[in-house]
Structure 1
Amino acid sequence: MPATCVFCGSADTLTGAHVLGDWLSKIGLDPAPVPHGAGWLNRIGRELGLRPPFRQKVRDVCGDCNHGWMSRLEVVAQRVLTPLILGQPGRIEAADQGAIAAWVQKTALTAMLVSSEADRGRGYGLPASEYHELYALRNELPPLPASQFWAGRYEGVRGWSIRVTPLAVRVDGLPEPDRPQAYAMTILLGQLVLQGVRLTTAILQVELSNRLELPEFWPPAGPATWPSGQPLEDDAFLGFAGGKDFRSTEQRIQVQPWQPATELEPSRAGPWAAWSSCRQSVGKHVVYYPAALVGEAMHGRFYAFGTACECPMAYLIHIEPDGAHCKAADTAEVISGLYEKLAGEEYEIEDDDGSFWCKRLPGPFQQKMEP
């Protein structure tokens, strides 16, 4: 079956569409190569390599979309957003607000296409209907219905980022919904941060504000002056992008991060990566494994190993897409036996702390995810 455009469904030749417009590489932002990555929230991401910013492309868009309505959005975004990205005070005029909101939405949808086919097969991404419905509005260039958008000032060193977070509409006294009913889109560029929320369940119409009191530019209510509200600082960025700053005008209704996607303990990478999720009667335990395994996980290769912390217990650990998990806790002899029975080739990792032995996990964890 031939590949089709994710927006219009055309089977015409697909082109390389920039996730972030190439114009961003020409306005004075730092062009130095930086690490790129993509992946599920709170999981070990997929490493995309070291490259200059604003060069990432996806090949899921036809030429008519890429060079037509999507290009028109980029023209408006370049004209309106360039001074704000560079920190120059300005406004988003009412006549441009729909196109800027649609540009944020189009960029977020396109960014989700960077995910691997394996991730998409496991449900990573946004519904296909979001792409089709935005395409249906291409002549007017507004965002999708039931959307709100804000613009704020960023004070930090990240340079740029795109994040999409699934959200749940929670009503007091009712359980967590079994699927998200909205998503947040956050785009950071230079000194500008743009955030939007799209409610995908039509009957759940909730008006939102945010903790930083950022100016809203969609739905339109006159020119939006920038900068306004409180600045977003580096240490608050992840919570902000993770949808934790929204405030509902309805007392008993809240729009918050959808817990199955956002409440995992974040995976961490460093000289050594720490794991601290094994809960035994004596409390939490901490074991360590080489950061090389994090790099392997970022390329879709996962491992198992036996280890121990300061207490007498030993543990069998599996590195999986959302971090490290304890599969068994027992004496060193028992854990050693369980490790020996595992299928998979054994590897030795040498680093400053000596030799570290582990086994490559077979089956679904052995998928190789190339950039």
Structure 2
Amino acid sequence: MHATPAAKDLLAGTFGERISVGHAEITVDENGKYQIETSQSRSVNKYLPQVQVRVCKTCNEGWMGTLEEEAKRILSPLILEGQENLDLDAEDLTLLSAWVTKTWMAYALTRSPLNNPFTEAEYHSLASEHRPPHSDIILLMHSVEPITQVAIGIFSSYYGTAPPTASDADNGGLFYFAVKNVALLMFRCPPKLEEFRSILLQSLTGSPNVQRAWPSPESCTFPSGFLSEEALATFLRDYVETQQAIALPYEGLSPDEAQRAFLNGDSPNSIRGRFPSAPATE
């Protein structure tokens, strides 16, 4: 990722530059109220932190190294050698999907357990099968948006029928990876919210310039064209706004009040600090 011309321009003069980043966790105070608590901030690299994850030598030099080499084989002609497009078959797309999922999984290990959407079983499954979780959707696209020059990010979310506790891991989210105009995006949510997922992804999956990389990948010539400059930025903005709209209400409410309000589907903005009037229903 550091080797592309655009990344070199972006990172020029920033070596060693650091910024302060805080981490938020959901806690319960002495009165039983759910609240967001920001942990102590820590200093991190400003751009593309050198993430180090402890993995065993067998994995690092084995299946993980193999995925890295396969990803380089597939993408290097486009991002490093100036080739205009790639002919990708289903196996190429599966390998790219497995590689980028490994990258997200490794990055997720640098976060608090509460904010890691991946389960232990999913880590073991990727290691043994070299396939992403089947329920996740991974999209491949080409765009000239600045955020497709070099980036990695995980925007995790909690979907549940009760307020989360410190032992609950996030079970959904948006995962983003980009290098030199090539972007891979993964979206996950519980099966019961599949309709919500379809609606949210409609603007991207309906574009002829977005290729489904997982599941059920199909051979394609990539890129078939550029995603419009606004499409990706609009999708990311809509995702954030949607998460805010359906956020679990907890501020100013006891756990029982929050649970009833959440199950009622009340708007977080309308219930903060008051009792819900309707009884809860599953």
- Fold conserved (TM > 0.5)? yes
- How is 1:32-181 mapped onto 2 (pairs within 5 angstroms)? 32-34=12-14, 46-49=42-45, 56-85=50-79, 88-115=84-111, 120=112, 123-127=114-118, 129=119, 131-158=120-147, 159-167=149-157, 178=163, 181=171
Q: C-alpha displacement at 1:210, in angstroms?
A: 3.7
Contact 1:97 1:217 in 2 (8 A): yes
Question: For residues 239 and 114 of structure 1, do their structure 2 counterparts lie closer, same or farther at Cα, with a shift above 3 Å needed?
Answer: farther
- For CA contacts below 8 A with separation 6 or more, give which structure has more relative contact order: 2
Task: Write the distance in 2 (CA, Å) between the matches of 1:66 and 1:242.
Answer: 36
* C-alpha separation in 2, matches of 1:99 and 1:262: 36
CA contact (8 A) 1:85 1:190 kept: yes
**Distance of 2:56 and 2:237 partners within structure 1:** 31
State the AA in 1 paired with 2:150.
W
8 Å contact from structure 1 (residues 99, 143) kept in 2: no
Superposition TM-score, scaled by structure 1 size: 0.47
Question: Would the aligned equivalents of 1:144 and 1:198 in 2 still touch at CA under 8 Å?
Answer: no
Number of equivalent positions: 214
Give yes or no for contact 1:165–1:257 (8 Å, CA) kept in 2.
no
How much does 1:211 deviate?
Answer: 1.3
Task: Decide which structure has greater helix share.
Answer: 2
**Aligned CA distance change for structure 1 residues 221 and 100 (closer, same or farther; 3 Å):** closer
State the alpha-carbon separation in 2 of the partners of residues 85 and 261 from structure 1.
38
Unaligned runs of 5+ in 2: 25-37, 165-169, 250-282
Structure 1 Cα separation of the partners of residues 239 and 55 of structure 2: 32
Name the residue aligned to 1:257: 243
**Is the Cα–Cα contact under 8 Å of residues 84 and 226 in structure 1 kept in the other structure?**
no
TM-score, normalised by the number of residues in structure 2 = 0.60
Judged with a 3 Å threshold, the aligned counterparts in structure 2 of structure 1 residues 47 and 229 are, in CA distance, closer, same or farther, namely farther
Alpha carbons 2:7, 2:150 under 8 Å: kept: no
- CA RMSD, Structure 1 to Structure 2 (Å): 3.9
Residue in structure 2 matched with residue 30 of structure 1 by the alignment: 7
Q: Distance in 1 between matches of 2:234 and 2:140?
A: 16
Whole-angstrom distance in 2 between the partners of 1:70 and 1:83: 21
Give 1:73 shift. 1.3
SS in structure 1 at match of 2:146: coil
- Tell me which structure has the larger Cα radius of gyration: 1
Identity of aligned residues (%): 23
